[in-house]
């Protein structure tokens, strides 16, 4: 079945004036998967995500999200995709409930439904104690969890998470990863997870792609990548070792 593929790019390229940010990128993510999107800073991961959302126009190539062309139908794509940007901000003068209700209104969710969902999601991300606190007084971890709730309010089919654990304490990062895993398991949400926290990625992702200098240098399950590089199974090598091996070769 064709609809089994949630994200697909073919020859996706983005050129800025003097450099190529994304270079003929082709990859697929199947439904219900957590795809670990790895690579050094500046490898073009964020640019790829922006092109998948239709926020950036590819110089060449094609992208499909849920079989929709993000360039032609950006609004439909954005209805299905929740995007948590790397350094996403908040309106400091709103409280948690107001922030979520604003996002809900942008998504066209009816008012009574929105307040219902707001409380449900604040419960889910563990912020129900801080409902009426201004976001400017939130800690980094709380903001990240609120950002997560904002992304989930539209009931997305796909999540694009750009460094969701950046700057979080180990416990917060772990809990966020567990939340991602449970969402994937219980709600069948496909996740594109960009992260440098390789240990966590290894634990929850079904397959990974390693992007270096705008190219996808490796794609597949961690076991198959380890086998390709070291000739043995996943158990022997961590994702970190596999990643470093690819990184050094480029």
Backbone dihedral angles phi then psi of residue 132, each to the nearest 5 degrees? -105, 20
Site string for another protein, 68-107 (x = CB under 8 A): -------xx-xx-x-x-x-xxxxxxx--------xx-xxx
Chain Cα centroid distance, residue 38: 11
- Helical spans, DSSP H, in 57-169: 74-80, 96-106, 111-124, 140-152
Min separation Cβ 58 and another protein, Å? 12
166 touches another protein by CB under 8 A: no
- Burial classification of residue 203, based on how many CB atoms lie within 10 Å of its CB (0-12 exposed, 13-18 middle, 19 or more buried): middle
Which stretch in 34-42, 51-59, 175-183, 228-236 sits in contact with another protein by CB under 8 A?
A: 51-59
Chain Cα centroid distance, residue 225: 21
172 touches another protein by CB under 8 A: no
**CA gyration radius for the chain?**
18
Are 200 and 180 a contacting pair, CB within 8 Å? no
Helix (H) and strand (E) counts for the chain? Answer: 9, 9
3-state class of 207 per DSSP? strand
Which stretch in 3-11, 50-58, 204-212, 227-235 sits in contact with another protein by CB under 8 A?
A: 50-58
Footprint on residues 103-132 left by another protein (CB under 8 A): 103, 105-108
Min separation Cβ 111 and another protein, Å? 11
Min separation Cβ 249 and another protein, Å? 29
Site string for another protein, 125-164 (x = CB under 8 A): -------------------------x---x----------
Among 13, 33, 48, 56, binds another protein (CB under 8 A): 56
73 vs 87: CA distance, rounded Å: 25
213 vs 250: CA distance, rounded Å: 9
Min separation Cβ 143 and another protein, Å? 10
Min separation Cβ 99 and another protein, Å? 10
Residues that bind another protein (CB under 8 A): 46, 50, 53, 55-56, 75-76, 78-79, 81, 83, 85, 87-93, 102-103, 105-108, 150, 154
């Amino acid at each position: 079945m064709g609809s089994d593929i949630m994200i697909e790019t073919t020859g996706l390229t983005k050129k800025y004036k003097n450099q190529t940010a994304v270079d003929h990128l082709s990859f697929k993510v199947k439904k219900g998967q957590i795809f670990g999107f790895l690579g050094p800073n500046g490898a073009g991961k964020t640019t790829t995500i922006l092109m998948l959302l239709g926020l950036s126009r590819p110089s060449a190539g094609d992208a499909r999200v849920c079989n929709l062309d993000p360039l032609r139908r950006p609004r439909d794509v954005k209805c299905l995709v929740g995007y948590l940007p790397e350094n996403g901000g908040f309106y400091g003068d709103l409280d948690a409930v107001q922030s979520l209700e604003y996002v809900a209104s942008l998504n066209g969710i009816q008012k009574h439904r929105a307040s219902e969902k707001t409380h449900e999601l604040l419960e889910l991300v563990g912020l129900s104690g801080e409902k009426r606190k201004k976001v400017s007084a939130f800690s980094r971890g709380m903001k990240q969890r609120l950002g997560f709730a904002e992304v989930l309010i539209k009931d997305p089919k796909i999540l694009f998470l750009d460094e969701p654990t950046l700057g979080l304490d180990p416990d917060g990062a772990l809990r966020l990863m567990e939340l991602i895993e449970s969402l994937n398991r219980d709600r069948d949400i496909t996740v594109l997870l960009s992260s440098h926290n390789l240990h966590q990625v290894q634990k929850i992702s079904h397959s990974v792609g390693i992007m270096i200098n705008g190219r996808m240098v490796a794609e597949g399950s961690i076991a198959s990548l380890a086998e390709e590089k070291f000739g043995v199974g996943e158990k022997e090598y961590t994702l970190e070792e596999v990643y470093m091996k690819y990184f050094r070769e480029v």
